[in-house]
Amino acid sequence: MNPEKAENMEQITTSAVDPEDIDNVADYYKFEIDNDFSKVPEQSTFEKMAAFRQKQIQENKLQVIKATENGKTIGTSIVVLENGTMGKNIKDNEAWAAGTVIDKSKRGQGIGEKLSYEQDRIAREAGKESILTTISQDNFPSMRLRLKVGYELDGIDERSDETNYFYRKNLINNDKIEKDWTQEVESGKLKLLETDEKEVDDEILVDPNNKELIAELLLKGYRGINLLRPEDFTDKKTIDKNLLIFVNTADQKEKQLLAAQIKDQKFNQEKDKAYENDQTEILKIRDDLKNIK
């Protein structure tokens, strides 16, 4: 971090919004609206929505964190702590990282990281063992941030309008693999995988848009742990697009079990397809018999 950036970060503080201070709650909510992250529903008012959010904070259904610089709000983030709040589906031992917004002029200064670590702290204090979130497959800044602070891509949330990936961070034991991944690519150790193969290295590069391959890798015990960009390399032509790093963290016994489960799953899929084809053929024969005079 350069000296100027470090000095700026020293002036930035993060703190949880006081649930008894409605002005503080309203300031956070206004920041979301001003940054096009939220809007007041037509059937409500700003004051009612701020009061509603205050009640949620008071009941510890969620907590809100603000990043401020010289008294001015420059970033906000939410931690959902209760299942169903904000429509999030979480278990009792899980939290959800939601609604991180940074002032456009302040992005790239590490504010997102500070807010993320505050989310972790609040979740741990609430007794949570892991924290989750979803990110669309082309939202690379958010993807890189979460992977950088210890989240892993471990699932796919397929929606009608877009594909999102699930990210999870273990709050109890978070042993992040630390490597110079650019050097791994430049040395030829880390290679791009484009189709699922019988034998796959334990560390590979994958196109974030190749969701079919990612789904196969997740079944085999792989998890996404980092994102590389062309600008990360001295030679910008080393890679021509953003690529995810996937690693297989399963031990040998787990790999064998996963392989057996995949084999059974594929067998059942083939059996169901064969049954469906048989039924189609039977119906066709019946129709042909009806036409015989």
* Domain positions in the chain: 1-128
Question: What's the rounded mean pLDDT across residues 247-275?
Answer: 58
pLDDT value of residue 158: 84
The letter for the amino acid at 208 is P
pLDDT tier for residue 287 given thresholds of 50, 70 and 90? low
Lowest mean pLDDT among 1-5, 113-117, 280-284: 1-5
Strand pairing class (72-80; 62-69): antiparallel
The radius of gyration computed from the CA coordinates of the chain, to the nearest angstrom, equals 24
Q: Is the pLDDT of residue 258 over 50?
A: no
* Among the listed residues 205, 200, 203, the one whose alpha carbon sits nearest the alpha carbon of residue 239: 205
For domain 1-128, give the CATH number.
3.40.630.30
Helix, coil or strand: residue 144: helix
pTM summary value: 0.81
β-bridge partners, 204: 246
pLDDT, tens digit (0-9, with 9 covering 90-100), for 134-179:
999 999 999 999 999 999 999 999 887 889 999 999 999 878 888 9
Residues whose CB falls within 8 Å of the CB of residue 135, separated by 6 or more in sequence, listed in order:
142, 143, 146, 164, 165, 167
Return contacts of 268-272, CB within 8 angstroms, 24+ apart.
none
pLDDT tier for residue 210 given thresholds of 50, 70 and 90? very high
pLDDT value of residue 177: 84
pLDDT value of residue 162: 87
pLDDT value of residue 261: 52
Integer CA distances (angstroms), 245 to 185, 226, 276, in order: 10, 5, 38
Q: Phi then psi for 165, rounded to 5 degrees?
A: -110, 140
Integer CA distances (angstroms), 201 to 32, 205, 245, in order: 43, 10, 12
Residues whose CB falls within 8 Å of the CB of residue 114, separated by 6 or more in sequence, listed in order:
9, 12, 14, 67
- Residues 141, 145, 146: CA angle, nearest 5 degrees: 120
Asked if 170 contacts 158 with a C-beta cutoff of 8 angstroms, the reply is no
pLDDT tier for residue 236 given thresholds of 50, 70 and 90? confident
Q: Is the pLDDT of residue 252 over 50?
A: no
Helix, coil or strand: residue 4: helix
Distance CA 77, CA 98 (A): 7
With tokens 């009640």, the residue in question is 55
